[in-house]
Amino acid sequence: MKIVMLGAPGAGKGTQAKMIAEKYGIPHVSTGDIFRANIKNGTDLGKEAKTYMDKGELVPDELTVRILLDRVAQEDCKNGYVLDGFPRTIPQAEVLDTELTKLGEKIDYAINVEVPDENIIKRMSGRRACLSCGATYHIEHVPPKKEGICDKCGSELVLRDDDKEETVKNRLNVYHQQTQPLIDFYNNKKVLKEVDGTVDMKDVFKAITDILG
């Protein structure tokens, strides 16, 4: 089962992708995680990706495609995977489609988690991250016990550059211009399914599992 998660940044598709991966025993392949690992390890690719991510811009297709195809060729992906953060553009979707066709494979479901922009801006600008241990919080929904301090390791929490309101608005603009057309792309391939991402996380997951069976 090969699944593509669609939805604006902050729509909650990453959380749903992890839950799908766990339930169905397939890897959650997140380009964001792959990029962050590269950034943390200080690789050339990581440094290049970071210059785009800090401005809220998309990492260029060739960088992303190279990294992703290598990942899904690994042994743990043989029974399927959940793609989160890829494809983001029509050219990426076409490259993925072409490469999968060569292998006699295809995307089975493209699940769009639908959330209005104003909800997303509120969600993301409330996020706080611990750069030391990687724990994440939300000032409204998952606050730390002590304001501004990580529960797990006691380090200071920060608002990451890509969660700042202006960056979020920029990311949403980029999303609407470049990624929204994917909804039509996968709809034309008869694999698009849409779920309401504004309801409780468990209800979103139930709607998805009802689709996947």
| pLDDT tens-place values along the chain, 213 residues long | 999 999 998 899 989 999 999 999 999 998 878 888 788 889 888 898 888 888 888 788 878 877 788 788 889 999 999 999 889 889 899 989 998 998 889 999 999 999 999 999 988 899 999 999 999 999 998 999 999 999 999 999 999 988 999 999 999 998 898 888 999 999 999 999 999 999 999 999 999 999 999
pLDDT at 81: 96
Query: Which stretches of 54-175 are DSSP H helices?
Result: 61-72, 90-102, 117-125, 165-174
Catalytic residue among 13, 71, 123, 128: 13
Q: Residue 181: which H helix or E strand, with range?
A: helix 181-188
Of the candidates 71, 123, 127, 128, the residue annotated as catalytic is: 127
Could you give phi then psi for residue 195, rounded to 5 degrees?
-130, 155
Contact status, residue 165 vs residue 173, Cβ threshold 8 Å: no
Please tell me the predicted confidence (pLDDT) of residue 27.
95
3-class secondary-structure state, position 197 = coil
Catalytically annotated residue among 18, 36, 50, 160: 160
Task: Provide the strand spans (E) within 44-191.
Answer: 81-84, 109-114, 127-130, 136-138, 157-158
Q: Please name the fold of domain 2-116+164-212.
A: Rossmann fold (3.40.50)
88 is catalytic: yes
DSSP state of 41: T
Residue 128 annotated in active site: no
Given the residues 2, 88, 123, 128, the one annotated as active site: 88
Cα separations in angstroms, 111 against 13, 73, 146, 192, 210: 9, 22, 37, 6, 12
Residue 57, pLDDT score: 84
